[in-house]
């Protein structure tokens, strides 16, 4: 891909999201739009013994009714969701081949309190890029464009309710004997199972079906 890719910065983004990143020369994060509820902005999916589990970041609702700017969305810490998410991730992946190699890198996400969701998600992206050993430049939008002219628009990948159309090869998952292969989970799943080979997996995904 020679075009810059326009993506939302999700919470520990999906495999499809990072396949786009891995096959890009540069990415631009959409940070100038309104907040999108029930999306990968605040949720990710992991594989557990009981199937696919949703990890969802609680956010504070704006004081004014109506849509809220993404950059203004604050994280709600009234419940200790960080501890809950970390324990869920540890339970799901502590027996995986590679999780232990990345855990120390991930811990700050669940120890430090970030006021704004956008700062948390962008920091999570930086950590994932370090884990993948990917060095791809990124920047943020300053103005929202409904139909970008100079960027390849991949913002639709933030929709957590739609199935991802990209073709995936199956890789081993800890609980696949019970669950079968669970497609397009958080990048954490691929990293925990494939380790350094994750980047080759991402680069091999056929993105031609992503419209």
Residue 1 has pLDDT above 60, yes or no: no
pLDDT-above-90 percentage for the chain? 87
According to DSSP, residue 113 is labeled: -
**pLDDT of 65 over the 70 cut:** no
C-alpha span between 203 and 199 (Å, rounded): 6
CA atoms within 13 A on the CB side of 158: 22
Do the domain assignments include residue 98? yes
145 in any annotated domain: yes
Q: How many angstroms separate the Cα of 166 from the Cα of each of 20, 136, 185, 202?
A: 11, 22, 13, 11
Q: Which of 30-34, 104-108, 177-181 has the lowest mean pLDDT?
A: 177-181
DSSP-derived 3-state class of residue 3:
coil
Q: State the average pLDDT over residues 172-193.
A: 95
Does residue 211 belong to any structural domain of this protein? Answer: no
Our count of domains for the chain comes to: 1
The alpha carbons of the chain give a radius of gyration, in whole angstroms, of 17
Say if 210 falls within a structural domain: no
Confirm whether 92 is domain-assigned.
yes
Note whether residue 167 is domain-resident.
yes
- Please give the pLDDT value at position 211: 65
Give me the mean pLDDT over the 24-44 stretch: 96
pLDDT tens digits, one per residue of 66-112: 689 999 999 999 999 999 999 999 999 999 999 999 999 999 999 99
Strand ranges, E, within 49-195:
51-56, 138-140, 152-153
How confident is the model at residue 208, as a pLDDT?
85
pTM of the model: 0.94
Query: For residue 70, what are the domain limits?
Result: 5-204
Q: Does 2 score more than 60 pLDDT?
A: no
Distance (Å, whole) CA 120 – CA 123: 5
pLDDT tens for 111-140 read: 999 999 999 999 999 999 999 999 999 999
User: Does any domain span residue 69?
Assistant: yes
Q: Is residue 209 part of a domain?
A: no
Distance from the first to the final alpha carbon of the chain: 14
Q: What is the pLDDT of residue 104?
A: 97
Q: What is the pLDDT of residue 175?
A: 92
pLDDT, averaged across the chain? 94
């Amino acid at each position: 891909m020679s075009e810059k890719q326009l993506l939302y910065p999700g919470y520990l983004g999906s495999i499809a999201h990072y396949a786009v990143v891995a096959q890009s020369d540069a990415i631009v994060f959409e940070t100038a739009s309104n907040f999108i509820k029930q999306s990968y902005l605040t949720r990710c999916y992991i594989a557990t013994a009981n199937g696919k589990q949703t990890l969802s970041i609680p956010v504070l609702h704006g004081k004014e009714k109506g849509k809220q700017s993404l950059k203004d969305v604050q994280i709600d810490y009234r419940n200790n969701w960080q501890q809950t998410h970390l324990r869920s991730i540890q339970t799901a992946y502590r027996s995986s081949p590679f999780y232990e190699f990345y855990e120390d890198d991930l811990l700050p996400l669940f120890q430090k309190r970030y006021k704004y969701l956008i700062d948390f998600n962008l920091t999570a992206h930086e950590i994932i890029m370090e884990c993948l050993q990917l060095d791809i430049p990124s920047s943020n939008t300053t103005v929202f464009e409904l139909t970008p002219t100079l960027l390849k628009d991949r913002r639709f990948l933030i929709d957590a309710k739609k199935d991802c159309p990209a073709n995936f090869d199956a890789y081993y998952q800890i609980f696949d004997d019970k669950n079968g292969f669970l497609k397009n989970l958080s990048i954490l799943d691929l990293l925990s199972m494939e380790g350094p080979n994750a980047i080759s997996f991402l680069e091999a995904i056929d993105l031609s079906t992503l419209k």
